[in-house]
Amino acid sequence: MGKLIKITEQPDDSDRKAIVDQLFTYNESTGAVYDLKSFAILIKDPRSGETAGGLWATCYYDWLHIELIFVPKELRGRKIGARLVRSAERWALRRGCVGVWLDTFEFQAPAFYQSLGYETFGHLPNYPRGSRRYFLRKEFSEST
């Protein structure tokens, strides 16, 4: 049976699931256990109870990936961002993670993460055009 290659600009969730399921099955056959765990550390508005910001992360393949972090403008400068990242690091340590990685844009906060001990391990120039996207990591030591 021949395979047909087709580009679609409107894939659905079942298309993604078909790819992901087979990829994870292959990866697990090599001994790499995915074991995805997601969590969030939320900043709540004390009056409304609504989520105003926070951190969203996923843990898989023994690393924590900080996917999203946002501190509302009126709360910046109070070390809340650092508290969010440190809390995520403690969660990762309790889970036995090797380290934490994340990505950020040049116009966002690479210096902030570097001040917390993260090192740049790669970047994409012109992403978006005229800027850069940075990839940073913090690997835990045996004494951490």
Residues 66-96 pLDDT 10s = 999 999 999 999 999 999 999 999 999 999 9
Task: Please state the separation of Cα 136 from the chain's center in Å.
Answer: 10
Confidence of residue 144 (pLDDT cuts 50, 70, 90): low
User: Residue for token digits 């996923």?
Assistant: 58
Contacts of 24 (CB under 8 A, 6+ apart): 34
Cis peptide bond prior to 128, omega within 30° of 0: yes
Burial 49-60 (b: 16+ CB within 10 A, else e): eeebbbbbbebb
pLDDT score of 143:
65
pTM, whole model, 2 decimals? 0.88
User: Given 3.40.50.280, 3.40.50.360, 3.20.20.140, 3.40.630.30, which CATH number is that of 35-139?
Assistant: 3.40.630.30
